[in-house]
Amino acid sequence: MNDVVTQIERARSIIAARITIEPRIALILGSGLSELADDVDDPVVVPYADIPGFLPTTVAGHRGELVIGVLAGQPVAVMRGRFHFYEGYSMQQVTFPVRVLHALGCAVLLATNAAGGLHADWRVGDLMLITDHIFLPGLAGHHPLRGPNDERLGPRFPAMVDAYDRELRALVRAVADDLGILLREGVYLMLSGPAFESGAELRMCRLLGADAVGMSTVPEVIVARHMGMRCLGLSLITNLALPDGPPANHQEVLDAGEAARPKMAALIRGLLSHIGRAATIPTSQDRP
């Protein structure tokens, strides 16, 4: 049989054979942020090329490796580089790694990304905690859960209200406060890319209530929620996406990632150490 559960199990078993810990928290590192994986202790590095269903990453700033080890005391699985819809992959292909990380034992997904800030008074290098999302490709039919639903993975019609875990968001806020990090909050709007938005499209995004725009994260979060994982999203504002501002470019996205890396790293480490103090992380069984 070659159904998705079989594919997940094949990928899971290949990774599991190389590791001795059970990762509980999955981290996806977005554009320019992949160096955070260097902080993982006792890392086992599995190239995506070794994992069936994991694809080549084609974008500069995205490496193709899964790093499993301990970060701030937590057993983690870190995706160094992710897959994007704009690379030509299907939404199911883009989100397959999240299925595998869940099967490996991850109960929490922390997804990071680079995003364009839609507020003129925000600054390049700001961090934004995602409070909610707008999934333009999904609303238009490019949805990772489109097609037959496998009830072993999750329900046909999963809720997305409160997709970004309230308790964990409060924890991020508290950690940012402690560290003196300015934390923006807002709605992340995902569009397919790869072109950056036109001025009129940016005005539309504002009208829809978005605070930042980007080309990732939402498909992964939806699939994680489908399986009952608790989710968090953090955007690094790499550029201001303003209708009358200068055009965005990929190099500034990478440069901003580089400059803000210590801040993002400190926030993630702080978050992980505090999650670690909580007695347990509820699993998908506890939180359907």
Return d(Cα 113, Cα 48) in angstroms, integer: 19
Q: Is 86 one of the annotated active-site residues of the chain?
A: yes
Minimum distance, C-beta of residue 1 to ligand HPA, in the bound complex (Å): 38
Q: With 0-12 CB in 10 A as exposed, 13-18 as middle and 19+ as buried, what is 63?
A: middle
Ramachandran bin of 180, using left for φ above 0, alpha for ψ from -120 to 50, beta for the remaining angles: left
Query: Which residue's CB comes closest to ligand HPA?
Result: 116
Site residues for ligand HPA per CB under 6 A: 114-116, 196-197, 213-215, 238-239, 241, 248, 253
Minimum distance, C-beta of residue 272 to ligand HPA, in the bound complex (Å): 25
Catalytic residue among 77, 215, 224, 229, which?
215
Q: Is 62 one of the annotated active-site residues of the chain?
A: yes
Pick the closer one to ligand HPA by CB: 61 or 75.
61
Q: Is 87 one of the annotated active-site residues of the chain?
A: yes
Minimum distance, C-beta of residue 117 to ligand HPA, in the bound complex (Å): 8
Q: Is 149 one of the annotated active-site residues of the chain?
A: no
Tokens 């005391």 locate to 73
Minimum distance, C-beta of residue 138 to ligand HPA, in the bound complex (Å): 16
Q: Using alpha carbons only, give the angle 282, 283, 287 rounded to the nearest 5 degrees.
A: 80
Pick the closer one to ligand HPA by CB: 55 or 248.
248
CA dihedral for 45, 107, 51, 253, sign (positive or negative)? negative
Tokens 């991020």 locate to 172
Pick the closer one to ligand HPA by CB: 70 or 254.
254
CA distances from 158 to 104, 137, 146, 149, 232 (A): 22, 17, 12, 11, 17
Q: Is 90 one of the annotated active-site residues of the chain?
A: no
Q: Is 274 one of the annotated active-site residues of the chain?
A: no
Say which DSSP state 31 is in. Answer: T
Q: Is 143 one of the annotated active-site residues of the chain?
A: no
Tokens 């942020």 locate to 33
Catalytic residue among 65, 87, 197, 220, which?
87
Pick the closer one to ligand HPA by CB: 13 or 251.
251
Catalytic residues: 31, 62, 84, 86-87, 114, 215-216, 239, 250
